Amino acid sequence: MAPRLLVLRNSLLISVLLLSVAVVCSAQTLPERLATSKEIQDMLVQRIDVQHKNVGIVVGVINKRGREIIAYGHFDASDPRVPDGDTVFEIGSISKVFTSLLLADMVLKGEVKLDDPISKYLPASVHAPTRNGKQITLLDLATHYSGLPRMPNSWNWDYSPEQMFEFLNHYELTRDPGQKYEYSNLAVGLLGQLLALRAGTDYETLLRTRVTDPLQMHSTAVHLTPEMKTNFTPGHGTGLKIAHPWEIPALAPAGGIRSTANDLLIFLAANMGIIRTPLEPAMKKMLSVHRPVSPGVQIALGWHIQNGVICHNGQTNGYNTFMGYDPRRKVGVVVLSNANQSIDDIGWRTFRFPEPGLTEQQTDIPNLHP
């Protein structure tokens, strides 16, 4: 069955709260508006019907006037359903933004400090690696300045927090903590597990009680609820074949969350101040820290900042995702795909920016394959 187009609009007017943040602005002229629905539709048709790189894609856009969902394609070859704003995808490393929000919230509540060494929250039996007398801090984990590698060695689909702690016991840092940006799934996975230990719970419960319940994001979780299962689209890998789901317990905080375009638009609305939520102070706190990544790119707590856009992408075996917002124009974009081919360009073109040419440090996790 040929893919079909689905466009949903919500023109509900909502109030706007001005959010002041320091951002890295490019020299190019700021586009006045987002891409139109027709322009986004054409991008999706080109990607799916002409290039055959994707199976189904959902694009969500939001501004102060409301939100819109543009979707095209299908769940998979045996399921002709068109994905929509309630379709559940693996969001990959966009999960890191949620973990960093938990960190910011716990800092504001006085439960942790950004400069706390990780040794303060590790089990007593676990040794925290150090180098030249410098310790890894929670801030280092959230900003990829820890010196820990991208992935632990000998990981597997059942890789547990206990195995991660055992890895730390034997790992020797090759650079000082805080010295240089090096993208690390291990670091953010560790951050989420430490925050859960500090809160006396597990990561998913912490995520639900501190973030998704307060924001009423009822289709965002690590493990699928019965309703999420019904709306879950399978992922597609090489040759657009069904891919292994991303389930690595220790690294759930780095890439294990599932969500929908509608839920992520709520998240963007909260970050932009379009809606008022209890997490507004923590979301502002996330942007209070900037560390350099590469020329023209910085990292806050979890978020990357480029072209003045605050964003993160994600990739797992069968999915590719992008989420970002431009605080100057008060516009946000979500792109979710059920194939692991990059859709970053669709996100940037929806903002009407050319794709910035992401470095390997900013791409997600292409080596997470069995």
DSSP string over 348-370: HHHTT-------TTTS--TT---
pLDDT at 361 over 80: no
Find all residues with CB under 8 Å of 80, minimum gap 6, and list them. Answer: 1, 74
Asked if 287 and 308 sit in the same domain, the reply is yes
Q: Note the pLDDT tens digit of each residue in 63-116.
A: 989 999 999 999 999 999 999 999 999 999 999 999 999 999 999 999 999 999
> Which pLDDT band, with edges at 50, 70 and 90, does 246 fall under?
confident
- Strand, helix or coil at 146? coil
Same domain, 72 and 190: no
Task: Determine the Cα–Cα distance for residues 306 and 299; give it in Å rounded to an integer.
Answer: 9
Looking at the structure of the chain, the number of domains it has is: 2
Residue 207 forms part of a structural domain: no
Per-residue burial over 17-40, b = 16 or more CB atoms within 10 Å of its CB, e = otherwise: eebebebbeeeeeeeeebbebeeb
CATH (domain of 231): 3.40.710.10
Residues 195 and 293 in one domain: no
**Which of 62-76, 175-189, 239-253, 349-363 comes out lowest in average pLDDT?**
349-363
Q: Structural domain of residue 243, as residue ranges? A: 4-94+223-350
Residue 23 near residue 310, CB atoms below 8 Å: yes
Q: Mean pLDDT, the chain, as a whole number?
A: 89
In a domain, 218, yes or no: no
- 236 and 89 both lie in a single domain: yes
What span, in angstroms and rounded, lies between the C-alpha atoms of 329 and 341? 28
Please give the average per-residue pLDDT across 278-303, as a whole number.
Answer: 97
Neighbours of 289 (CB within 10 A): 18
pTM of the model: 0.89
359 has pLDDT over 60: no
Of 199, 232, 265, the one marking the end of a domain is 199
- Regarding whether 42 and 136 lie in a shared domain, the answer is no
pLDDT at 19 over 70: no
